[in-house]
Amino acid sequence: MSPVEAKWPVFKAKLVSRAEIAEATMAFRFERPPEWTFKAGQFVDITLINPPETDAEGNVRGFSIASAPHEGVIMVATRMRNTACKRLLQTMPLQTEVQIEGPFGDLTLHNNGRRPAILLAGGIGVTPFHSMVLRAAHEKLPHRILLFHSNNSPEDAPFLEELRELEKQNPNYAYIPTMTAIDRSHRQWSGETGIINSKMLSRRLKAATPSDPNIAGAIYYIAGPPGMVADMQKTLVDWGADEDNIRTEEFTGY
């Protein structure tokens, strides 16, 4: 029997850099083969090659691609927990090779630029949206984009400053971070606090689009830990969003 070939790209890529992007949260940049492409919002499976240790979950993890398609690297970002896989990602020497498979997934921005995009992220769930808003700014997409991003505190909000800065590059985009445990923070915070609920959605959407407070035709995207995705989906439906227009990505493992 001949070996079965994977129906998607599989390649080796070297780790080129890593950086802390929030408390206990790191970004990893890998080499990107020049011919390899993906759509903003998709994810890859990353496999550690011959790791010195492993655990029950094995050596493969799925990660949304946080970098944009026009960038020369593949960046992923994750909450650092004490699992073998993440310990190794954090300590392996730069230039170590991993295996990357993909891209996978269809949490990608809709084509019709007249329909607004409402993006709802819980913590690290912002990674696919980071890619999408970088792409939108780079390609000067016409979509109205509102990114709601919930974290405990500014300290643990991945890409907080960068996502805010992007508002200057793209007048169609607004970033709405909210902190659910601001009393535990040491930083000044004058933005939203508390969970993303119907009241916050109504108030912020009305402010963003006064002529169309129900934001007709919007497509809603939710990404994050499964519990957060389920809560947000319920909130959106209670608020009045059409369930057919809600797209989700669950970060299983959280």
The site for ligand FAD, by CB under 6 A, has a size of: 23
**Phi/psi of residue 215, nearest 5 degrees:** 45, 60
Site string for ligand FAD, 31-50 (x = CB under 6 A): ------------x-------
Nearer to ligand FAD (CB atom), residue 27 or residue 205? 27
Does 147 help bind ligand FAD (rule: CB under 6 A)? Answer: no
DSSP calls for 49-111: SS-S---TT-SEEEEE--S-TTSSEEEEEEE--SSHHHHHHHHSPTT-EEEEEEEE------S
Going by C-beta distance under 8 Å and a sequence separation of 6 or more, which residues neighbour residue 251? 64, 124, 125, 223, 224, 225, 226
Nearer to ligand FAD (CB atom), residue 28 or residue 173? 28
**What Rg, from alpha-carbon coordinates, does the chain have?**
19
3-class secondary-structure state, position 120: strand
CB of 163 to ligand FAD, least distance (A): 15
Does 148 help bind ligand FAD (rule: CB under 6 A)? Answer: no
Question: Applying CB under 6 A, which of residues 64, 131, 150, 151 lies at the interface with ligand FAD?
Answer: 64
Nearer to ligand FAD (CB atom), residue 69 or residue 116? 69
Question: Which DSSP symbol is given to 4?
Answer: P
Q: How far apart are CA 31 and CA 239, in angstroms?
A: 43
Query: Taking CB under 6 A as the criterion, which residues in 87-116 touch ligand FAD?
Result: 105
Question: Applying CB under 6 A, which of residues 29, 32, 79, 149 lies at the interface with ligand FAD?
Answer: 79
Residues of the shown chain interacting with ligand FAD in the complex, contacts defined by CB under 6 A: 43, 57, 61-64, 76-79, 81-83, 85-86, 105, 124, 127, 249, 251-254
